Amino acid sequence: MTRVNKLCFQNKQQEKFSMKTFLTLTTLLGFFFLLEVKPLFAQDHKILMEQIMESYLKIGQSLSKGSTGEATQHAKAIVTATDQILKLQVGLPKEKRKEFNILVKRINSYAKRLVGKKDLEELRTEFDVLSHPVIGYLNTFGSDKKYFVYACEGDMNPWIQKNKEPQEDPYCDSPCGNIIKEIGGK
């Protein structure tokens, strides 16, 4: 082998080594980045779900008092938070991710139906529709906080409360209902 050929061969070997090293390091850095970022996404998801729950609870409390004033504001907050959650990478297994997306999209869609409504009975009807995927979400994915699922004996429309008492039936002006389930809490 001539001296020129040897130098060319050595340069190509160094380039291969450098390229392999670069690809290996890039892959490792990407892997470590994903390990660090997934918990951040999961944490953002939990924070946003708590915001959704707070808005949901405020709508229910308002309706239980026969008030419609803040329903649109809190429904818009739910829509905003669910839009943000759907953009996150929530680190769930594929089968759970599908169910997660369905429930969050339904919460989003049903919250939009509350926006702009002024009639108390219409709001109560739409709140009942919204309650089902919210309860489904909590049943499936849980919560760090404890919630109580209530249902009124007459119509069996469910709702969620943070507190055990007093009853805050969003579907009628007088308190009624029983706890049918406790969800969440550690």
Instruction: Give the whole-angstrom CA distance, residue 39 versus residue 44.
Output: 9
Q: Assess contact for 68 and 120: CB atoms under 8 A.
A: yes
Instruction: Give the whole-angstrom CA distance, residue 150 versus residue 178.
Output: 5
pLDDT value at position 154? 73
Q: What is the mean pLDDT of residues 119-132?
A: 96
With bands split at pLDDT 50, 70 and 90, how would you rate the model's confidence at 89? low
pLDDT value at position 7? 47
pLDDT value at position 181? 92
Q: What is the mean pLDDT of residues 81-105?
A: 85
pLDDT value at position 124? 95
Instruction: Give the whole-angstrom CA distance, residue 148 versus residue 78.
Output: 20
pLDDT value at position 35? 43
CA atoms within 13 A on the CB side of 40: 5
pTM: 0.75
For residue range 33-57, list pLDDT tens digits in order: 444 434 434 557 788 899 999 999 9
With bands split at pLDDT 50, 70 and 90, how would you rate the model's confidence at 31? very low
Q: What percent of the chain has pLDDT over 90?
A: 47
Instruction: Give the whole-angstrom CA distance, residue 22 versus residue 27.
Output: 9
Q: What percent of the chain has pLDDT over 70?
A: 75
For residue range 56-68, list pLDDT tens digits in order: 999 999 999 899 8
**pLDDT reading at 177 higher than 90:** no
Q: What is the mean pLDDT of residues 7-23?
A: 55
* Selection from 180, 185, 139 nearest residue 157 by Cα: 180
Per-residue DSSP letter, 2: -
Q: What is the mean pLDDT of residues 23-36?
A: 48
pLDDT value at position 23? 55
> Would you say how long the chain is, in residues?
186
Residues 6+ apart with CB under 8 A from 177: 150, 151, 152, 153, 159, 167, 169
DSSP string, 82-137: HHHHHHS-----HHHHHHHHHHHHHHHHHHHHHTT---HHHHHHHHHHHHHHHHHH
**How many Cβ atoms sit within 10 Å of the Cβ of residue 165?**
9
